[in-house]
């Protein structure tokens, strides 16, 4: 009997195993190859920031997506981990201890977990408004402490250190950005894998159960409070790791790293990426970091666009970018994905022009109102023109208006094609 069961189970398991391993291998290879493709220093700096944000966002989603807990003060755990690592780094430098730099984030993780245990003991008794309010209060409290407890937080200028003073790790001194890049990538792979595995353990599964129906979970023998507490602890650990990597990468931490604004950003990042899927926060962190770094070079108004994108996500795609991608899985399975191609082009290209046109108008208003006196020339999309003349305004308005009109008229056809593509191919089978 057991033999039969084994033969039934093992091929299935082996199959699912290779299926789940593929994205991890691809991700690891990408992490290794990316610095050779984007090999200038600023790209590597952006990627370092990106991967740190990915760890932080994944850790945040252990609460928001997996456990149904909305935290408004999660930067605290990353910040605390970072501050501790900064102190350890300086301590190692002053006393010449034998602590290799790559192990430093572990201290951040443990300290983040310790803080999460303390605060989680109070806050995890519920998941709703109470939890959110406590997290907000704690966030404000710690941010305020940063100017009071100067010995730990360094007051307004924060604390800084030098990562290269420690022991060389197999000859690597972490002088170059690229060395830090691989250190961060290593911790990213490790943390992401551990967080993924956590969601597959009994306590990780029960975190989902408690999120969906805390009362039912209680009647299955699980205290919803303890389940939340363990998720909170694990999340604090990985936030602390992200904080430690931040300390290594930037060599400075300030109050900004743990204030409410930073907490707000990680909520935004995670939601933008999509809380419903494990890989959602990864996409969110990549998209947001690109907005923050690349777009901010182009325009001062990048935060305005990030805000608008967030608003659009909440209103129209609550599943986030990951949800948007996964929406297409059924039509792909039915073999109908190609039916969507033409309608998408017909609607999305004018849609894109509408968005860019609106952005151009926003930029022009901004330039008109805030440009220095006499400086009437502005450049948008590689075209230089006079923002005080009438013609550019008319041209941009007309283009935007027409594009919007086309988007609107082609949208119903897209909707129809969407419905069509998501209908199972069999005509009359009840299978």
Partner 1 sequence: MTAALELSGLTKSFGKAEIIRGVDLSIGKGERHAIIGPNGAGKSTLFNLITGRFAQTAGKISLHGSDLAGLEPYQINRMGLSRSFQITNIFPAMTVFENVRCSLLWSMGYKYSFWNLVASSKKLTDGADEILEQINLTERRNLPAGVLSYAEQRALEIGITIAGGADVIMLDEPTAGMSHSETDYIVDLIRKVTENKTLIMVEHDMGVVFGLADYISVLVYGEIIATGRPEEVRGNPKVQEAYLGEALEAEH
- Interface contacts to partner 1, rule CB under 8 A: 5, 9, 13, 16, 197-198, 200-206, 208-209, 212-213, 215-224, 226-227, 230, 234
Of 150 and 329, CB closest to partner 1:
329
Of 227 and 285, CB closest to partner 1:
227
Is 116:232 a contact under the CB 8 Å cutoff?
yes
Of 92 and 217, CB closest to partner 1:
217
Of 14 and 30, CB closest to partner 1:
14
Shortest approach of partner 1 to residue 213 CB, angstroms? 5
Of 68 and 108, CB closest to partner 1:
68
- For 374, the token pair is 């006499």
d(CA 428, CA 127) in angstroms, rounded, equals 45
Class of residue 4 by CB neighbours under 10 A (exposed 0-12, middle 13-18, buried 19+): exposed
> Which residues, 6 or more positions from 81, have their beta carbon under 8 angstroms from its beta carbon?
105, 107, 108, 109, 111, 112, 239, 240, 241, 242, 243, 244
Of 39 and 213, CB closest to partner 1:
213
d(CA 378, CA 399) in angstroms, rounded, equals 18
Shortest approach of partner 1 to residue 84 CB, angstroms? 23
Q: Which of 145-152's residues contact partners 24+ apart within 8 Å by CB, and which partners?
A: 146/254, 146/255, 146/258, 147/255, 152/83, 152/87
Residue matched to tokens 């009840």: 430
d(CA 93, CA 96) in angstroms, rounded, equals 5
Is 378:384 a contact under the CB 8 Å cutoff?
yes
Shortest approach of partner 1 to residue 208 CB, angstroms? 7
Number of residues that this document lists for the chain? 431
Shortest approach of partner 1 to residue 20 CB, angstroms? 9
Shortest approach of partner 1 to residue 126 CB, angstroms? 14
Shortest approach of partner 1 to residue 249 CB, angstroms? 28
Shortest approach of partner 1 to residue 201 CB, angstroms? 5
- For 362, the token pair is 């926003």
Shortest approach of partner 1 to residue 223 CB, angstroms? 5
DSSP 27-78: HHHHHHHHHHHS-SHHHHHHHHHHHHHHHHHHHHHIIIIIH----S-THHHH
Of 60 and 230, CB closest to partner 1:
230
Of 237 and 288, CB closest to partner 1:
237
Residue matched to tokens 């991608």: 325
Of 130 and 216, CB closest to partner 1:
216
Of 224 and 270, CB closest to partner 1:
224
DSSP 176-224: SHHHHHHHHHHHHHHHHHHHHHHTTSHHHHHHHHHHH-HHHHHTTT--H
φ/ψ of 408, rounded to 5, equals: -65, -40
Shortest approach of partner 1 to residue 181 CB, angstroms? 30
Of 11 and 401, CB closest to partner 1:
11
Is 181:44 a contact under the CB 8 Å cutoff?
yes
> Which residues, 6 or more positions from 23, have their beta carbon under 8 angstroms from its beta carbon?
279
Shortest approach of partner 1 to residue 371 CB, angstroms? 51
Q: Are strands 159-160 and 252-253 parallel, antiparallel or unpaired?
A: antiparallel
Shortest approach of partner 1 to residue 121 CB, angstroms? 15
- For 102, the token pair is 């790559």
């Amino acid at each position: 009997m057991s033999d039969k069961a084994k033969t039934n189970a093992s091929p299935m398991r082996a199959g699912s195993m290779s299926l789940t391993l593929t994205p991890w291998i691809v991700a690891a290879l990408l992490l290794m190859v990316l610095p050779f493709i984007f090999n200038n220093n600023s790209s590597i700096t952006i990627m370092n920031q990106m991967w740190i944000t990915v760890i932080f966002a994944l850790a945040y989603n252990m609460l928001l997506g997996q456990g149904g807990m909305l935290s408004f003060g999660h930067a605290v755990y990353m910040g605390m981990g970072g501050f501790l690592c900064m102190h350890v780094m300086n301590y190692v430098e002053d006393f010449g201890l034998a602590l290799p730099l790559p192990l430093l984030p572990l201290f951040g993780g443990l300290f983040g977990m310790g803080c999460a245990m303390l605060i989680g003991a109070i806050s995890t008794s519920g998941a709703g408004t109470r939890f959110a309010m406590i997290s907000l209060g704690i966030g404000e409290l710690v941010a305020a402490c940063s100017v009071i407890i100067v010995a730990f937080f360094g007051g307004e200028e924060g604390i800084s250190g030098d990562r290269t003073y420690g022991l060389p790790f197999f000859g690597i001194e972490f002088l170059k950005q690229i060395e830090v890049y691989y250190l961060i990538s290593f911790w990213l792979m490790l943390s992401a894998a551990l967080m993924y595995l956590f969601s597959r353990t009994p306590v990780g599964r029960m975190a989902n159960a408690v999120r969906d129906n805390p009362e039912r979970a209680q009647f299955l023998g699980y205290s919803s409070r303890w389940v939340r507490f363990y998720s909170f602890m694990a999340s604090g650990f990985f936030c602390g790791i992200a904080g430690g990597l931040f300390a290594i990468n930037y060599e400075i931490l300030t109050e900004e790293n743990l204030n409410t604004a930073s907490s707000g950003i990680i909520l935004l990042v995670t939601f933008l990426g999509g809380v419903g899927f494990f890989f959602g926060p990864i996409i969110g962190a990549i998209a947001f970091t690109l907005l923050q770094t690349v777009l901010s070079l182009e325009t001062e108004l990048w935060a305005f666009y990030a805000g608008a994108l967030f608003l659009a996500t909440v209103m129209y795609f609550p599943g986030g970018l990951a949800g948007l991608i996964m929406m297409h899985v059924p039509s792909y399975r039915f073999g109908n994905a190609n039916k969507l191609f033409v309608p998408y082009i017909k609607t999305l290209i004018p849609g894109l022009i509408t968005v860019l046109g609106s952005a151009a108008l926003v930029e022009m208003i901004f330039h008109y109102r805030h440009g220095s006196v006499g400086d009437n020339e502005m450049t948008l999309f590689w075209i230089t023109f006079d923002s005080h003349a009438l013609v550019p305004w008319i041209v941009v308005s007309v283009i935007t208006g027409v594009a919007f009109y086309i988007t609107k008229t082609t949208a119903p056809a897209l909707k129809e094609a969407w419905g069509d593509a998501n209908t199972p191919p069999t005509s009359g089978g009840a299978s």
